Amino acid sequence: MIKAVIFDMDGTLIDSERLGAAAWLQAADELGLEFSQDVSRGFIGRTLPDVLATLADLYGSEEDGERLWRRHREIREEMAKTDLELKAGASECIDALAAAGYHIGLATSSRHATAEGNLRRFGLFDKFETVTCGEDVEHGKPDPEMYLLACERAGADPAECAVVEDSRNGCVAGIAAGCHVFAVPDLMPLPQEVVDGCEAVLETLFDLPAAISSLG
């Protein structure tokens, strides 16, 4: 029986991955650094320390990696002021699941200040009973640590929790934690081996309440 529904944020509730991908490319171009979309796609679901470590390896320099990350963040924050949007069905599905009595949790690799700022913009932040962010864990997605902690904070076993994700890294983390994973893919299609580990792959979040209730 599902007791808690734990949502990822970026690419799942808000359309931020698209902005992030554009910001990485613009920042790299401004700084004269080589960069590709494949690199930024690998960052989806990862914590800041993981991202910085990858950039340091890529450029052989922590300084260059940090410069790129800081400029990317500045560009992304400017974009978010005018271009950030909710994913279809985000508010409606949260309201429906809360009304049905499920615990509503958040598990995002973004830092708490970023998550709160983005979700308050759409009136969503206070709908979450528990919040787990990137700075709360040592190992980011696809490691299961974030979802194991989110389940603990929700007061439920992983087998009693549904995880809602968009990315490969996030889905793998939820599956490894022992949760029931529902995927709503965003920028990239999921590999078949990940699809096989999910309870369902949905078109939009509007489909989520019925999918979760079908588990009992």
Token output for 92:
């409606």
8 is catalytic: yes
Surface-to-core class of residue 190, CB atoms within 10 Å of its CB (0-12 exposed, 13-18 middle, 19+ buried): buried
State the catalytic residue, choosing from 10, 50, 166, 186: 10
- How far is CA 54 from each of CA 58, 62, 69, 207, rounded to the nearest angstrom? 6, 9, 11, 35
Residue with tokens 């709503």: 184
Under 8 Å CB-to-CB from 8, ≥6 apart: which residues?
Answer: 45, 107, 108, 163, 164, 165, 166, 167, 170
DSSP label at 103?
Answer: E
Report the DSSP pairing between strands 4-7 and 103-107: parallel
Distances (CA, A) of 48 to 21, 23, 89, 91: 15, 16, 28, 27
Active-site residue, 196 included: no
Say whether 99 sits in a helix, a strand or coil: helix
CA 102 → CA 22, 35, 96, 113, distances in Å? Answer: 36, 42, 9, 25
Give catalytic residue positions: 8, 10
